[in-house]
Structure 1
C-alpha cells in the first residue's frame, strides 16, 4: 500500500455478494416454472446489456419508476415456456429470488471489517425484492438501495451519493460487486473496486488493501 491512501470504507453489493450467486436462484426458478432459458437470456440482454437503451423495464424497476407488479407483467409477456404455456406473472420476482440465501462467510467478513473500525456501506440495485433490513441496517451505514434513491448502478450518481453519505473521498473507499459493469462504474468515479467471485477471494483481496484484516486471529474469522 506504499503511496496509496488508506482505505476507510468498504461498500458491498447485496445480491451475489452477501448472498449466494444470483444465477443459481435464477436457474432454479427457470427449471421450476418451466421457462425456456433462452427467452429469459434474450430479454435480460435487451433490457440490461451495456447497449440497452435508456429506461428499459429493468432500469425503471431498479430506480423505483416501475412497480414490481408492472415489471412482472412485462417480463412474463417476454418469456416462453418449454411446453408452450403462459407464464404466470403473479409473484414472478418472488419466485426468481426464492433461492437466494445469505453467504455467512461474507457476513462474517463484513463483521470483521467493522470490528477493525472500517466503515461499512451497502449499495444495491433493487428488483423489487425485499432485504433483511434489520440485519443489514445493524451492520451497514449507509444502506443505499436503488429503488429508494431513484438512482442505479453502474451510473456515477449512485456511487457519488454513497460516498457523500460516507463523507469520504472516492479513493478512501473500496467497492465489491459481482457484476463487472458495476465494478467499472465504481472505478470511473475514483473508487477502488473488486469483482467478487467467492468469499475467500474477496477476503484475500481486501486484506491486501487493509492489512489488519489478515492479522485477525482465526477465532475472529470463524465465530459467526
Structure 2
C-alpha cells in the first residue's frame, strides 16, 4: 500500500462482468503443460506461495482522490491538516474507527465519519485486469495471501469485491499474525514466514511500493514491484510459475 502522503495515479475501473467476459483477451500467454508418466502428472517441488499487497496492487486505493474530494480539499491541503499518527494507528489496530474520526484532523474538527466510510466503500474496485490474473493464478494451483497495511476496513473491500475467492486475508496490519506490524518493518515479513511455516525461498512478495519490496528481499523473500498486470505476469513467468 502506498503511504497516505504519496500519490500514484494509474488505474481505471474494470467491472467483474467485463473482466470475466474478456478473460481470454486480458489473460493470454502460452503456458507450459505438465509432463505425465503413465497418465499421471509428474510430481514436482512444492509450488511458490504469493504474498500480495492489496491497496494499489489488487484494489485501487480511494484515499488519493475520493477522500480529498469528500472533504472538499486538494490532496496537499488534506495532508497539511490531517494527523500524521491517527491513520497508522488505525492500520495497526491500536485505535478503533470512532477514535480515528476523533483524531483524524490535527485541530480535531468534526465531520460525518459514517459518510466517509460510505464514500470509501463505493470507490473500491479492482486494479485493471487484476481480477482475471488472480483467477488464473488460483486456477493454476498457487496459494495466495494478502499482506496489507490496512485497517478493519479491509472487510468492506471483502464485502464488495469478494477477494477471498482468490486470496486469503492472512496478513493484515490490524489483526491476525501481522497485527501491529506494518511494511516495510522486517518484523512483518518474519511474522508472515513464521505463520506459513515454509522456507522463505518459496515465498514471492508483490507490492507497488519499491521500499516494501526491498525490505522483503532484505529479509530473504523474493519480491516484485507491481506496476501493472502485464508486468506482474511477466515477472511470475520469469520465475517459472506456470499460469494457465
CA separation in 1, counterparts of 2:67 and 2:211? Answer: 24
Given that residues 87 and 104 in structure 2 are in contact (C-alpha distance below 8 angstroms), is that contact kept between their aligned partners in structure 1? Answer: no
Moved more, 134-143 or 107-116: 134-143
The C-alpha deviation readout for 1:83-119, integer Å capped at 9, x for no partner, is xxx6615233543454221236212222222222222
Residues 40 and 33 from structure 1, CA distance in 2 versus in 1: closer, same or farther, beyond 3 angstroms? closer
Q: TM-score, with normalisation over the residues of structure 1?
A: 0.72
| Structure with a larger share of its residues in helix | 1
Structure 1 gap ranges (5+): 48-55, 80-85, 217-224
The count of corresponding residues between Structure 1 and Structure 2 is: 193
Given that residues 186 and 219 in structure 2 are in contact (C-alpha distance below 8 angstroms), is that contact kept between their aligned partners in structure 1? Answer: yes
1:193 to 203, 223, 230: 223
Summarize the alignment of residues 43-54 of structure 1 with structure 2, pairs less than 5 Å apart.
47=84
What residue is the counterpart of 1:131 in the other structure? 157
SS in structure 2 at match of 1:76: coil
1:108 to 132, 141, 146: 132
Task: State the shift of 1:195 in Å.
Answer: 1.5
What residue is the counterpart of 1:83 in the other structure? none
CA separation in 2, counterparts of 1:25 and 1:62? Answer: 14
What residue is the counterpart of 1:41 in the other structure? 79
Residues 178 and 36 from structure 1, CA distance in 2 versus in 1: closer, same or farther, beyond 3 angstroms? same
Moved more, 97-106 or 149-158: 97-106
Structure 2 gap ranges (5+): 1-44
CA separation in 2, counterparts of 1:43 and 1:194? Answer: 34
Question: Is 1:60 the equivalent of 2:83?
Answer: no
